[in-house]
Structure formats: structure tokens, C-alpha cells
Amino acid sequence: MQNTFAYFLDQLINGLTLGSIYGLIAIGYTMVYGIIGMINFAHGEIFMIGAFISIITFLILGLAGITWVPLALLIVLIAAMVFTSIYGWALERVAYRPLRGSPRLAALITAIGMSIFLQNYVQLLQSARNKPMQPVISGGVEVMRDGDYVVSLGFMQGIIIVLTIVLMVIFSLMIARTTLGRAQRACEQDRDMAALIGVNVDRTISLTFVIGATLASVAGMMFLLYYGVIDFFIGFLAGIKAFTAAVLGGIGSLPGAMLGGLLIGLIEAFWSGYFTVEYKDVAAFSILVLVLIFRPSGLLGKPDIEKV
């Protein structure tokens, strides 16, 4: 049938773009869980705050007359990363550190409470109305043409995919080869023993929250640039999808988080393209259930061995 492969390729590009955003958010979930064994359900709201900081910074730059796109994007990226990392640090310091020795249920309830608090905090400051923004990066390159059907890779889509790959490589190398990465891996294996050999556990965990928040801010900025509209509730659904991606790929595994994000994005894109968009979430969560039935640790996760 005409346009069949072209349409498939179009949905593939859309799925990779969406999955890249999910993957960046999922890395924050998996890093925190890998070190302290807690699910930071407020991480989706950190992503949402990153998007709001981005749109506010764009507005300020517009009022200041800074219209050169590369400079504006750089300033917005730096502002989003700096301010969102402060939120990530404060979240760990206020909500999670006091409960580190408590039962996991207490930390889980606190995480959900912080998620609700941040949603309402942003709603009060920015109102519940949608915040639209004019496209900053437009255009693209033609990938293929099949009759009247044209498949193109938008410049914004290309930036999202490439930036995600670059960040994934950078943070993988950081965890594998730097002092901070070694401290994170030591805390992941045994926090008490890591403290005995001189690792500053509190600082390592705080920096992990900061790194996760930084990645979420990049995802928030890319979400704003790609979709052009945000509201105070975008963090909830994106956070659930990213958490699903982290579990699907194997919670605690950075490559697994990225793989899970890409799979969730592809499932949503292809289901929306070939079936009905109303049930795309059902399809994504159904795949998660099937994977967990046959591989409980996720696609790239390792079985959790209880220490005795």
C-alpha cells in the first residue's frame, strides 16, 4: 500500500523524539532508586518546573531584546539547569533526608505529598491556564518522499534525539570513571560501608538528586520547545510514564532507563498512528505488565539480592 513505509518512518521519528524526553526523566528515577532505594515521585514535578523556568526565561530574554536564537537557547538551558537543580537539592534535603532510615512506606507517602505540593505551588504562582509559546526552532530536512506523503525530520526533533544521546554518554562515563561515580556506586552497594571508607554519603545523595533534576530540566525545556504549550499538570503524567520506562528498562540501570523511555515513546507513537490515540496509555502499561510477568527485574535490570 502506498505510503506504508513512509508512514512507519514518520511514526518512528515521533516515537524516538518522545521516548528521548521520557528517557531523560527516567534517568532521574533510576539514579535515586539505585542509591537510596526510594522512588522520587516528585521527579515529574521537577521536570514541570524546568519547563516553567524555561518559558519564564524566554519571556525575560524577549523583554530584554535578546533574540539571537543560539544565545537565547544557551541562556535558557543554563537557567533551567541551575534553578531546577536547586529545587532538586531542596527536595532531597527537606523531604527525603530526614526519612532515610524510616520504613519505605513513609518515604513513598512523602514523595506523593511533595508531588501534590509542587503541583499546587506552581498552580498558585503561574495559574492553571495553559502557557503557550511561539516556535523558536522550526523547519527540518526531508527524509523521504512517497508520492504526496513527505517524511521530514524536524530540526527540533533532531536536537532532542542528539542531545539525549550526548547526555546519556556523558553521564554514563561520569558514573563509570569519575570520583563521584565511584562514590555513587559504593553507596548503591552499601551506604554504611561506603561511609566507613570515607565516602560522604549525604553529599553523594544530594548530588544525585541535583543531577537527576538537571536532566529533568533539560527534558522540560525540550518538551516546551517541541510541543509549545505547558501547564502545571504536565509533570504528573510525564512522571508516571518516565517511572514506567525506568521499571520497564530495569530500575537502577541508566541504559535500561533510556531503553525503557524509547520503548514507551515508540509504543505510544505507533499505537496512536495505527490504532486509536485514546488507548495509547493502555498499550504502554500493558507492555510493562507483560515484561514484569516474564522478567520482573526489567529488560536490563539485575535481580535484587537481599543482603543478610
pTM strictly above 0.85: yes
Question: CA separation (Å) from 283 to 19, 25, 226, 258, 271?
Answer: 15, 20, 23, 19, 7
**pLDDT bracket for residue 45 (50, 70, 90):** very high
* pLDDT tens readout for residues 70-124: 999 999 999 999 999 999 999 999 988 888 878 878 888 998 999 999 999 999 9
Query: What is the C-alpha to C-alpha distance for residues 84 and 298, in angstroms, rounded to an integer?
Result: 29
Q: So where are the chain's domains? A: 23-234
According to the model, what pLDDT value does residue 305 have? Answer: 56
Instruction: State yes or no: pLDDT of 262 exceeds 90.
Output: yes
Considering only CA atoms, which of 130, 131, 123 is closest in space to residue 58? Answer: 131
